[in-house]
Structure 1
Amino acid sequence: MSLLSAKDLSLTRSELLFRGLNFSVAKGDRLGLVAANGRGKSSLLRILAGEEDATTGTVTRMRGLVVAFAAQDVPARLLPLSLHDAVSDALAPEVAETESWRIDVLLDDLFVDEAIRGRAVGSLSGGWQRTMLLARAAVVEPDLLLLDEPTNHLDIGRIGVLQRFLLALPRDCAVIAASHDRAFLDDVTNRTLFLRPEDSEDFSLPYSRAREVLDERDAARDRQYENDMRKVKALRQQAAKLKNIGINSGSDLLVVKTKQLSERADKLAEKARPAHQERSAGAIRLTNSGTHAKALVTINDTAITTPDGRVLFRTGRLWIENGDRIAVLGANGTGKTRLVDRLRAALEGEDPQIRGAASLKLGMSDQALAQLDGFRTPWEAVKRSSDLTDHQARAQLAGAGISIDAQSAPLARLSGGQRARLATLLLRLAEPNFYLLDEPTNHLDIEGQDMLEGELIEHGAACLLVSHDRAFVSAVATRVWVISGKKLVEVDDPGPIFAQLLAG
């Protein structure tokens, strides 16, 4: 029995996001919702939750269906509340008063420390805020759980907690998760809906397998389209020849035949449709200014410490060579970001334990995209970071997915994906030959992740990166460093480390 059915849904905002969308959700379904940034995923979830209306079409829900929606952003009214109280707020007052034990059990299942539960939501990290939003949705014991980018801001360990939690939900509970985390989708979903403006596709497969089938189907459609258009061209050429003969001979039969051929060509052309081409949310391009130095960075055995001097781990003696793409893995709190910060400080200043080659030119992007701080608008960011002409600056911003109107608007108005693409544009304009990247795929859709992977690999860019995105690390990294037992060690295969971190 269907919990929910969508029939002929369409949604138009400033542009058409989707139309003719038909699908249903049955008990126990685990559906991954996939589309590029700004293509209607969040809006569709809000429509399914009953918070927004579609432009056309209907959503039919089973009588008594309980739907819970964990959105991306925390409502402002929850920020002053403690995490525990913010979760309690999702319950009816009489239920919260008599069954508060349900909240504690749920937070235990999500491995939320007692100290965290009493802290104000506004003071928590993005990862803990995301956990709170999940708990608010789950505490009402829904029949259908809607999740919007549930892995954003979570490290691999917390992603493991999330995955185990979802797998332990009651068998009848259905889940729809909009996500750009390919490994997460593969691990927790059994269906994939690719949301498109036209002809959205629904497969009873997890993401990677569904993607392969979709790519094959799109390739077949393109081949059919090309074949149809060749037929159209041939029919029109034949019609044109018969028309000339008919005019010269005065034959009414040839005139009728010409008309028939033209009509056949028009009908075939009208029916012929190429495969969907995703309209880019903005290009991601990097550069590698090059260097003849073999060792870009030399790290002597040094301690990476907390701000108060507590030793997190020792590095041992290490080198980063031209072309190395090094991923740093480790549990939350082991010091990955502290290592990035130390390298940045050393390469921008003086540090006897960490030395960069004379030709090294550093490019840095952190989790908060701090390289955008101090700029009021995208236009100002590009103009102050380069020698581009006005025309060139506008063209570069447009290429990064930032429209003319948005180029002079406050940075705060940009979406997360647009901010990430702008930050990458500033990196490229700096023309570095060594990148420090802390969670570079945050806010990037799958298209953006693929672009970033391709750019790093194609240009042979040397980089050290920290990422919770397992698919990204597996595709990009040529070397893997792991923080383990207060030491930084190199391993050949990240797979066992991923499994260990996911298991907690």
Structure 2
Amino acid sequence: MSLINIRALGVTLSTDLFANLNLSIAAGDRIGLVAANGRGKSTLLKCITGAFEPTTGEITRARGLTVGHMEQNLPAGLERLTFREAVLDALSPEQQESESWRADVTLEELEVPEVLRERPLAALSGGWQRIALVARVRVGEPDVLLLDEPTNHLDLEKIARMENWLATLPRDMPVVLSSHDRAFLDAVTNRTLFLRPERSQLFALPYSRARVALDEADAAEERRFEKDMKTAQQLRQQAAKLNNIGINSGSDLLVVKTKQLKARAERIEEAAKPAHLERSAGAIRLANRGTHAKVLVTLEDSAVDTPDGTLLFRTGQKFICQGDRIVLLGLNGTGKTRLVRRLRQAIEGAGEPGIRPTPSLVLGYGDQALSDLSDGETPHGTIIHRFDMGDQRARSLLAGAGFSVEMQGRPVGQLSGGQKARLGMLVLRLANPNFYLLDEPTNHLDIEGQEALERELTVQEASCLFVSHDRAFVRAVANRFWLIEKRRLIEVDGPEDFFAETAMLA
């Protein structure tokens, strides 16, 4: 039974986000909403709730249907409340008075630790704040859930917790969620909507299988278009020949036939639809300066500890070699970020005990907070001030990375997370490193950007060590796997056992 019907829906802002969208949301649907950053996912969810008026089309809902919508950002002022107060705040004043138990049930359902429930949201990580947003939607027990990027800022354990929670919801409760986490989409969805400016595509499949079907459909569409264009060209060629014969012979019949062939060619050309061409958000390219050194970094049983001196783990003797793409795995709090920081400091010349980089190493560093970018600087200023190049060259590079002239002059602090990430990638490229140290590099990238980064790291044969909670990215990029376990850094054959263990702990 259909609960929400979307007919011929379209939204046009500065450009068409989507048009002629038809979608039926029924009991039991778990729909993954996929599109590049800024292409209308959040807008569509707001249209479904009634918070945004579409340009064209209509949405009808079953009578009495309640819709819960989790947006991406904390409402203003909510960070001052404790976790429990923030969830309670989502209820009506009457419910807060008589049904406060709902908040406790929801916190239990989402397995929020007791110790966190009375802490202000401002004191919690971005991941726990994200779970608080989910809890605020769930506490009202809506008939339909709309979740906008529910896994943003979540580590692997919390992603597994989110997957488990979605699996425990009533089977007939529809869920529509937008996400750039491919493994998460595969785990929790049974339908996938690829949102496009024209001819959005819906498949009754989870993301990876739907992506294969989409690529096949696009290829078939391209073949049909090429065939139609070839047919139209042949008709025009025939018409031209007949026209010449008709003129020379004075045959009215051939003149009429010529007009008929031209008209047929025009009808075919008008009806032919080119295959979808995705508008790129900007190219992601990396450099690989290269080095004659085979061993880039030597770890000589270095101790990694907390700021107060508590030992987290020892590295043992390890070597990072040219061509290695090493992923650093480990549960939260085991010391992944501490090791990354120590590696950075050692490579930049700070002198870290037990870490010996080769003198020819040139570092490309990027962290999940994009802290290397100044919010008060503009993208144009960032490139001009850091690298020896002229104004026109800087503008050309920024345009290639997806930055319009207007965006190039906007403060970095006003850019979206995806735009900041692409600027960070451009800065990395221009540093021309021969070793990359990356902490959650896909955090703000859409699927197109993630796949572009994967290609660059592998095709360029870049040497890197990275930390990532993106399982699809880890599987695509890493060729060595280091795991922090029982205060030791060990090498394992692959990530799957760790992923499975993390899911069991959630």
Aligning the two structures, in what range does the TM-score lie when normalised by the shorter sequence?
over 0.9
Q: Deviations over 1:241-260 (max 9, x none)?
A: 21222222222111111110
* Residue of structure 1 equivalent to 2:238: 238
- Mapped partners of 2:171, 2:310: distance in 1: 46
* Residue of structure 1 equivalent to 2:192: 192
* Residue of structure 1 equivalent to 2:337: 337
Letter in 2 for 1:390: D
Equivalent pairs: percent with the same residue?
A: 60
Give runs of aligned pairs for residues 62-101 of structure 1, distance below 5 A: 62-101=62-101
Residue 206, structure 1, aligned to residue 206, structure 2:
yes
After superposing on structure 2, the runs of 4+ consecutive aligned residues of structure 1 that deviate more than 4 Å are none
Residue 123 of structure 1 deviates from its aligned partner by: 2.8
Residue 398, structure 1, aligned to residue 408, structure 2:
no
* Residue of structure 2 equivalent to 1:491: 492
Residue 257, structure 1, aligned to residue 257, structure 2:
yes
Residue 373 of structure 1 deviates from its aligned partner by: 2.5
* Residue of structure 1 equivalent to 2:364: 363
Q: Deviations over 1:126-162 (max 9, x none)?
A: 1111011000011111111111111110000000000
Give runs of aligned pairs for residues 124-135 of structure 1, distance below 5 A: 124-135=124-135
Whether the 8 Å CA contact 1:385–1:429 is kept in 2: the answer is no
Residue 16, structure 1, aligned to residue 5, structure 2:
no
User: Partner of 1:323: helix, strand, or coil?
Assistant: coil
- Mapped partners of 2:191, 2:359: distance in 1: 52
- Mapped partners of 1:262, 1:374: distance in 2: 59
Comparing 267-276 with 94-103, which one deviates more in the overlay?
94-103
User: Partner of 1:76: helix, strand, or coil?
Assistant: coil
- Compared with structure 1, are the counterparts of its residues 293 and 374 closer, same or farther at alpha carbon in structure 2 (3 Å cutoff)? farther
Letter in 2 for 1:283: A
User: Partner of 2:407: helix, strand, or coil?
Assistant: helix
- Mapped partners of 1:476, 1:229: distance in 2: 40
Whether the 8 Å CA contact 2:418–2:445 is kept in 1: the answer is yes
Letter in 2 for 1:315: T
- Mapped partners of 2:477, 2:433: distance in 1: 18
Residue 446, structure 1, aligned to residue 447, structure 2:
yes
Residue 374 of structure 1 deviates from its aligned partner by: 6.3
* Residue of structure 1 equivalent to 2:104: 104
Comparing 472-481 with 238-247, which one deviates more in the overlay?
238-247
Letter in 1 for 2:379: P
Q: Deviations over 1:350-392 (max 9, x none)?
A: 1231011111000110010011126511011111121222111
Residue 292, structure 1, aligned to residue 285, structure 2:
no
* Residue of structure 1 equivalent to 2:155: 155
Residue 334 of structure 1 deviates from its aligned partner by: 1.4
- Mapped partners of 1:374, 1:265: distance in 2: 55
* Residue of structure 2 equivalent to 1:384: 385
Whether the 8 Å CA contact 1:375–1:381 is kept in 2: the answer is no
User: Partner of 1:84: helix, strand, or coil?
Assistant: helix
- Mapped partners of 2:421, 2:359: distance in 1: 29
* Residue of structure 2 equivalent to 1:215: 215
- Mapped partners of 1:148, 1:374: distance in 2: 25
* Residue of structure 1 equivalent to 2:34: 34
User: Partner of 1:372: helix, strand, or coil?
Assistant: coil
Aligned residues: 504
* Residue of structure 2 equivalent to 1:465: 466
* Residue of structure 2 equivalent to 1:114: 114
- Mapped partners of 2:411, 2:118: distance in 1: 35
Comparing 378-387 with 459-468, which one deviates more in the overlay?
378-387
- Mapped partners of 1:11, 1:503: distance in 2: 42
Residue 235 of structure 1 deviates from its aligned partner by: 0.8
- Mapped partners of 1:35, 1:141: distance in 2: 28
* Residue of structure 1 equivalent to 2:355: 354
Q: TM-score, normalised by structure 2?
A: 0.98
- Mapped partners of 2:97, 2:402: distance in 1: 49
User: Partner of 2:205: helix, strand, or coil?
Assistant: coil
Whether the 8 Å CA contact 2:47–2:53 is kept in 1: the answer is yes
Q: Which runs of 5+ in 2 are unaligned?
A: none
User: Partner of 2:111: helix, strand, or coil?
Assistant: coil
Letter in 2 for 1:37: N
* Residue of structure 2 equivalent to 1:480: 481
* Residue of structure 2 equivalent to 1:182: 182
Residue 286 of structure 1 deviates from its aligned partner by: 0.3
Whether the 8 Å CA contact 2:375–2:412 is kept in 1: the answer is no
Q: Deviations over 1:92-147 (max 9, x none)?
A: 11212222222122212222222322222223221111011000011111111111
Root mean square deviation of aligned Cα:
1.1
Whether the 8 Å CA contact 1:282–1:399 is kept in 2: the answer is yes
Whether the 8 Å CA contact 1:143–1:172 is kept in 2: the answer is no
User: Partner of 2:18: helix, strand, or coil?
Assistant: strand
Q: Deviations over 1:176-196 (max 9, x none)?
A: 110010000000000000101
* Residue of structure 1 equivalent to 2:51: 51
Q: Deviations over 1:252-303 (max 9, x none)?
A: 1111111100011111111111211111011110010000101000011122
* Residue of structure 1 equivalent to 2:408: 407
Q: TM-score, normalised by structure 1?
A: 0.98
- Compared with structure 1, are the counterparts of its residues 374 and 271 closer, same or farther at alpha carbon in structure 2 (3 Å cutoff)? closer
- Mapped partners of 2:23, 2:167: distance in 1: 23
Whether the 8 Å CA contact 2:302–2:353 is kept in 1: the answer is no
Whether the 8 Å CA contact 2:450–2:473 is kept in 1: the answer is yes
- Mapped partners of 2:123, 2:498: distance in 1: 31
Letter in 2 for 1:455: E
* Residue of structure 1 equivalent to 2:317: 317
- Mapped partners of 1:133, 1:195: distance in 2: 24
- Mapped partners of 1:55, 1:214: distance in 2: 26
Letter in 1 for 2:387: S
Letter in 2 for 1:342: R
Comparing 344-353 with 190-199, which one deviates more in the overlay?
344-353
User: Partner of 1:441: helix, strand, or coil?
Assistant: coil
- Mapped partners of 1:395, 1:124: distance in 2: 41
User: Partner of 2:77: helix, strand, or coil?
Assistant: helix
- Mapped partners of 2:231, 2:263: distance in 1: 13
Whether the 8 Å CA contact 2:374–2:412 is kept in 1: the answer is no
Residue 306 of structure 1 deviates from its aligned partner by: 1.4
- Mapped partners of 2:238, 2:49: distance in 1: 55
User: Partner of 2:342: helix, strand, or coil?
Assistant: helix
